[in-house]
Amino acid sequence: MRLPRMITVTLAGVAILIPTAACSSDEPAAGQAPEASVSTGPIEEPAPEKLHPFTGEPFDAAKRVIAVKIENTAAGKPQLGLKSADIVYIEQVEAGLTRLMAIFSSKIPPKVGPVRSARISDLHIAPMFGKPAFAYSGAQTKMLPFIAEASLFDVSDSRAPGAYFRQPGRFAPYNLFANTKKLLSAAPKATKAKDVGFTFGDAPAEGGIERKSYTVKWPAARFTFAWSDAKKQWLIWQDGKKDMAAEGGQLGAPTIVVQYTKTERSEFHDSNQSYTPLVHTTGKGSAIVLRDGMAYKAKWERESEDGGTTFTTTSGEPLNFAPGQVWVALASRKPVIP
């Protein structure tokens, strides 16, 4: 039998033993409130981080898209604003030269340029971004009805003249630049950034070939992309010279896509009667994706003009790009590795 615990109380000098109730370890001591039980319940996991559809980098809210046609010959270099672009397209134009279409949304620089004239191929690329603001400086009269019907908001120098200015220290026509804030003001309903088919993440585990550089040629232009392990970018050379930015430093990107397309004569030509190429960016084709110092053979597909362009491995798995800026070289020759 368990004996009661005794306590000693002294009354008037006499010690008296008084029994106390036994305490169980499962019960609270006298005068103490019982401890509240703690319910853990299900643990909520944090929401997945939002990644921008053009770059695969974190972002808070989608912004409107601006597409800008930018000069790409030595007379127009260095260009301003390209470092902030999400995507840069290299397109063939008359006489085998190239011109750029820069896509801005996640980062929009204050100024861009030199801004040059539109081409028919631009109108087939733009719908992939919904209905973006399209900045350019003129077009052939014959092409104006096509621009009016295209999926874009026309913010050219004739439609939004207050957004353009002449940059001191440069000569025409390579001195026309644009204020991006004013371009956006002229296109308040421009589409915000949305999925365009790109995927970002880890590189494929197999199928890549280590490359230090990769060269893409057009009839009168040559681009070389050389991997910099220090910068984790493919640095860009054009026609044997470093492609420098007006902001400083050499242009480069973590991912370069060489998208081989069908290129043919269009119904347009320039003042010298050189035909304007039409670059077909819908359909299917082959590509080379450069990332992390590796080259991967890929396939591309764009079912319709209002759809995105997907890139997959030769086995059909999504081919992830490295997070960051993407350059897409629209070339007409077959890919060669190595």
> Which structure tokens are listed for 238?
């054009």
* pLDDT (0 to 100) of residue 93: 94
Same domain, 103 and 174: yes
Residue with tokens 């399209």: 134
Domain boundary among 185, 200, 222: 185
**Does residue 89 sit within a domain?**
yes
- In this prediction the pTM is 0.85
- What is the SS3 assignment for the chain? CCCCEEEEEEECCEEEEEEECCCCCCCCCCCCCCCCCCCCCCCCCCCCCCECCCCCCECCCCCECEEEEECCCHHHCCEECHHHCCEEEEEECHHHCEEEEEEECCCCCCEEECECCCCHHHHHHHHHHCCCEEECCCCCHHHHHHHHHCCCEECCCCCCHHHEEECCCCCCCCCEEEEHHHHHHCCCCCCECCCCCCCECCCCCCCEEECCEEEEEECCEEEEEEEECCCCEEEEEECCEECEECCCCECEECEEEEEECEEEEEEEECCCCCEEEEEECCEEEEEEEEECCEEEEEEEEECCCCCCCEEEECCCCECCECCCCEEEEEECCCCCCC
Does a structural domain hold residue 79? yes
pLDDT band at residue 13 using 50, 70 and 90 as cut-offs: very low
Residue 267 confidence class, pLDDT cut points 50, 70, 90: confident
* Residue 39: pLDDT over 60: no
Same domain, 171 and 276: no
Give the Cα-Cα-Cα angle 278, 171, 326 (nearest 5 degrees).
45
- Lowest-pLDDT choice from 38-42, 127-131, 248-252: 38-42
Residues 268-281 pLDDT 10s: 877 666 789 999 99
Q: Which of 12-16, 35-39, 129-133 has the highest mean pLDDT?
A: 129-133
* Domains: count for the chain: 2
293 occurs within a structural domain: yes
Shared domain for 323 and 216, answered yes or no, is: yes
Measured between alpha carbons, how far is residue 315 from residues 108, 201, 283 in Å?
Answer: 37, 18, 18
- pLDDT tens-place string over residues 129-166: 999 999 999 998 999 999 999 999 999 999 999 999 99
Put residue 172 in one of left, alpha, beta given phi > 0 → left and psi -120 to 50 → alpha.
beta
- Rama region for 154: left / alpha / beta (φ>0; ψ in -120 to 50; rest): beta
Q: Please report whether residue 48 resides in a domain.
A: no
Please report which confidence band the pLDDT of residue 43 belongs to, taking 50, 70 and 90 as the band edges: low
- Is residue 286 a part of any domain in this protein? yes
The domain that holds 130 is classified in CATH as: 3.50.90.10
For the cut 50, the answer to whether the pLDDT of residue 33 exceeds it is: no
Dig out the tokens for 186 from the structure. 């002229």
Nearest to 324 by CA among 149, 161, 198: 198
Q: Is the pLDDT of residue 31 over 50?
A: no
201 close to 56: Cβ distance less than 8 angstroms: yes
pLDDT, tens only, 172-193 = 999 999 999 999 999 999 999 9
At residue 19, does pLDDT exceed 90?
no
Structural domain that includes position 175: 66-185
Tens digits of per-residue pLDDT, 217-251? 999 999 999 999 999 999 999 999 999 999 999 99
What band does 75 get if pLDDT is binned at 50, 70 and 90?
very high
* Residue 169 is assigned to a structural domain of this protein: yes
Q: Are residues 97 and 145 in the same domain?
A: yes
- Give the separation between CA 60 and CA 71, rounded to whole angstroms: 32
Task: Show the tokens assigned to 43.
Answer: 């643990």
Could you tell me if 241 and 274 lie in one domain? yes
Closest to 198 in 3D by CA, of 302, 310, 286:
310
Q: Are residues 167 and 107 in the same domain?
A: yes
Do residues 173 and 222 share a domain? no
Is 297 within a domain?
yes
- If asked whether residues 160 and 229 sit together in one domain, one would say no
Judgement on whether residues 180 and 231 belong to the same structural domain of the protein: no
In a domain, 35, yes or no: no
Sign of CA dihedral 124, 281, 296, 70: negative
pLDDT score for 338: 42
Where is pLDDT greater, at 295 or 29? 295
Per-residue model confidence (pLDDT) at position 269 = 75
Same domain? 235 vs 269: yes
b/e map 317-331, b = 16+ CB within 10 Å = eebbbbbbbbbbbbb
In which region does residue 138 sit, left (phi positive, over 0), alpha (psi from -120 to 50) or beta (all else)?
left
Final residue of a structural domain among 122, 152, 185 = 185
